Amino acid sequence: MAELRMESTDLVLHLSPAEKVEGVHGDLRAPLSAVRGIEVIGDAHGAVGLHAGIKIGTRIPGVVEVGTILGRSRHLFAAVHHDTPRGVRVSLEGTPFDEWIVGCA
């Protein structure tokens, strides 16, 4: 399961080996100064589903959403599984991703 950790001056999204394959991506890192907000969300699958764009990774709506969504103006990385329906949204500025949505048990 994906895990958010603070490491020195960075926020790091650590992915499990399976999530790295599912998401076609490695761990993500952003400086703490780039974090604009963190929000608890009750339906992480629904939050990911609201984003339109090119999807790179694994997506079965409501079951697993791990990967990148490249929208016209926003880029999102999600790591949400059926056993992590709730989650957090990390809003970022000045990084390759505008937000991360991470499922939580």
* Residue whose tokens read 């999600």: 78
Residue-level pLDDT at 84: 87
User: Residue 49: what pLDDT?
Assistant: 85
Q: What is the pLDDT of residue 19?
A: 96
Label residue 53 left, alpha or beta by phi (over 0 means left) and psi (-120 to 50 means alpha). Answer: left
Per-residue confidence (pLDDT) for residue 62, from 0 to 100: 85
pLDDT reported for residue 85: 86
Give the closest residue to 34 by CA, choosing from 78, 84, 98, 105.
98
- Tell me the pTM: 0.93
What confidence score (pLDDT) does residue 98 get? 97
Q: Which stretches in the chain have pLDDT values below 50?
A: none
